[in-house]
Amino acid sequence: MTKVIKEVQINETVLSIDQLTLGFPGQDPLTTISWAIHRGQHIALLGKSGSGKSTLLKRIIQGSSSIQCQTQRIAYLSQEPALLPWVSVLDNILLGFKLRGETIVSKHLERAHQLLTDVELCGFQYHKTNHLSGGERSRIALARALLEDADLLLLDEPFAALDRSTKIQMTKLCKELFANKTVILVTHDPRDALGWLDMAVVLTSHGLRGPFDLADFQNDHALIQALDGDL
């Protein structure tokens, strides 16, 4: 029965992109893509620098006539955690409620405290964020995204600026906390995604290639071939 439910969920399309052209105003288009992402999928989005990966995520957030998104609950995490330095960690986590003008009730506070515990920042709720390390700030952003209860998580190399051990710790956290979410992770290093994400797609000038098994990219040669669009 559980298996049937999971199959139904997986087949439900969360995001559907039809002939979306990526590029910058006044420049030649980078590429045109079509893509369907199903609920619960965890996908690594690979591509060379400047191939349009981050632009694609931002276009999904902004919306377009070529993009059909079944949910409004989207969370975005980038290398810059976007934390306000003049408010506390707790207020940063609850920022979404404040910006929407929603009343913060006790269940929100309880959830926020629980999430702080989950991201191993229990006791930091009243600290100011500019006194925290990069890893700690990333975890606060993670907690905020989780509190928003987003269906679709767009992660734009959120841990790229962190050291290897913190990155592994963050990846482990994401694997646990994002288990039931739909995730697109932009990364240059497929090792970040191994053991967490289901598959990889590669954004090239000829469109999206894949899906590939992440294990295929454990040697650099295969990864370079894929990034060049030759795989």
Partner 1 sequence: MNRTLGYFLPVTLLIAVWWSIVVLFDIPHFILPAPDRVATVLFDRFALISVHAATTALEIICGLFLGSIMGFTVACLIGDSKRLQSITMPALIISQALPVFAIAPILMLWLGYGFASKLAMTTLIVFFPVTASTLAGFRALPASWDATFQTLRPRRVRLFFHVQLPLAVPYALSGVRVAASVAPIGAVVGEWVGSSSGLGYLMLHANARGQTDLMFAALVVLCAEALIIWSVSNRISLRFDQKYTANV
Residues forming contacts to partner 1 in the complex (CB under 8 A) are: 57-58, 61-62, 72, 74-80, 82-86, 95-96, 98-101, 129-130, 137, 141, 148, 150, 154, 156
Q: Of 116 and 153, which has the nearer Cβ to partner 1?
A: 153
Nearest distance from C-beta of residue 160 to partner 1, angstroms: 12
Q: Of 136 and 217, which has the nearer Cβ to partner 1?
A: 136
Q: Which amino acid is at 37?
A: I
Is residue 141 within 8 A of residue 83, CB to CB? The reply is yes
Tokens read off for 104: 């913060």
Closest CA to 214 of 202, 228, 230, 205: 202
Nearest distance from C-beta of residue 78 to partner 1, angstroms: 4
Is residue 39 within 8 A of residue 14, CB to CB? The reply is yes
- 57 CB neighbour count, 10 Å cutoff: 21
Tokens read off for 94: 């609850």
Nearest distance from C-beta of residue 201 to partner 1, angstroms: 20
Closest CA to 48 of 215, 231, 223: 223
Q: Of 7 and 80, which has the nearer Cβ to partner 1?
A: 80
Q: Of 51 and 129, which has the nearer Cβ to partner 1?
A: 129
Nearest distance from C-beta of residue 181 to partner 1, angstroms: 13
Q: Of 68 and 225, which has the nearer Cβ to partner 1?
A: 68
Q: Of 72 and 103, which has the nearer Cβ to partner 1?
A: 72
Distance between start and end Cα atoms, the chain: 38
Q: How many residues does the chain have?
A: 231
The vertex-80 CA angle with 143 and 132, nearest 5°, equals 65
Nearest distance from C-beta of residue 61 to partner 1, angstroms: 5
Nearest distance from C-beta of residue 70 to partner 1, angstroms: 15
Pairing between strand 182-186 and 31-38?
unpaired
